[in-house]
Amino acid sequence: MLPANVTKCCPHIAHLCGYAACGSKHIMLVAKAMKTDTDTLPDDLKPYGEAMTKIIMEALIKNYAECLQLISEIGIQEITGVSIPPEQQTERDSLNRSSSDEI
């Protein structure tokens, strides 16, 4: 768990950490379920079940890691976009913000 001062000053980091922990938990549940299913296969099909489990888990973990990276990059872009004064933003950035500086 993150210290309280981190969650107060960087809530986006706390949310990302919570999302990562929850996702990891679900990946482990998928792995456990796939192992259980593979164990119930007849002996001649177990090598195929094990191969499928390995391939699926590698793809799941890789895609999950890419999602976490994307989510963190989007968060950084949002923080950067908010911190750049309107006169220094590009046209694309200006379209994403309101014309007033009110919060």
Reported as a single tens digit per residue, the pLDDT across 21-76 is 888 899 999 999 999 999 999 999 999 999 999 999 999 999 999 988 888 777 76
Tell me, rounded to whole angstroms, the distance of Cα 31 from its chain centroid: 18
Mean pLDDT of 7-32: 81
Distance CA 69, CA 90 (A): 24
Distance CA 74, CA 85 (A): 19
